């Protein structure tokens, strides 16, 4: 879903990057795009079921507003967390943090 959203909300020719690494006791997977970004006022609700930022910005992509909520629940089922940073007009970075056992 994160990669699909990055593709949907980025113009052709823009970069999308997937990074993976370890920070202390967490594996961190990042999906970074140069898409349209998400306005700050929407960030607190973006992982809620059925929440859509702006139907006009969907670019006829459809969707139900469930994808990010499902991602959040899967990550939490693995004792992890998900975070997002976004700048409108510049892009978004979604990070999945999962615990790593020694």
Question: Is 49's pLDDT higher than 80?
Answer: yes
The CATH number given to whatever domain includes residue 89 is 3.30.565.10
Domain membership of residue 38 as a residue range = 2-99
pLDDT bracket for residue 56 (50, 70, 90):
low
pLDDT bracket for residue 102 (50, 70, 90):
confident
pLDDT bracket for residue 75 (50, 70, 90):
very high
Query: What values do phi and psi take at 33, rounded to 5?
Result: -125, 165
Mean pLDDT, range 2-21, rounded to an integer: 94
- CA-CA distance, 99 to 22, in Å (whole number)? 10
The reported pTM is 0.88
Structurally, the chain folds into a number of domains equal to: 1
Q: What is the model's pLDDT at position 64?
A: 79
What are the Cα distances from residue 23, in Å, to 28, 83, 90, 97, 100? 7, 15, 25, 9, 10
Instruction: Compute the C-alpha angle 54/84/55, nearest 5°.
Output: 10
Q: What percentage of the chain reaches a pLDDT higher than 90? A: 76
């Amino acid at each position: 879903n994160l990669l699909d959203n990055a593709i949907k909300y980025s113009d052709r020719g823009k970069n999308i990057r997937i990074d993976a690494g370890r920070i202390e006791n967490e594996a961190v997977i990042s999906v970074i795009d140069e898409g349209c970004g998400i306005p700050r006022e929407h960030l607190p609700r973006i992982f809620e079921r059925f929440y859509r930022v702006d139907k006009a910005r969907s670019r006829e992509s459809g969707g139900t507003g469930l994808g990010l909520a499902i991602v959040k629940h899967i990550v939490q089922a693995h004792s992890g967390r998900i975070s997002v940073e976004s700048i409108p007009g510049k892009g978004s970075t979604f990070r999945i943090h999962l615990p790593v056992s020694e």
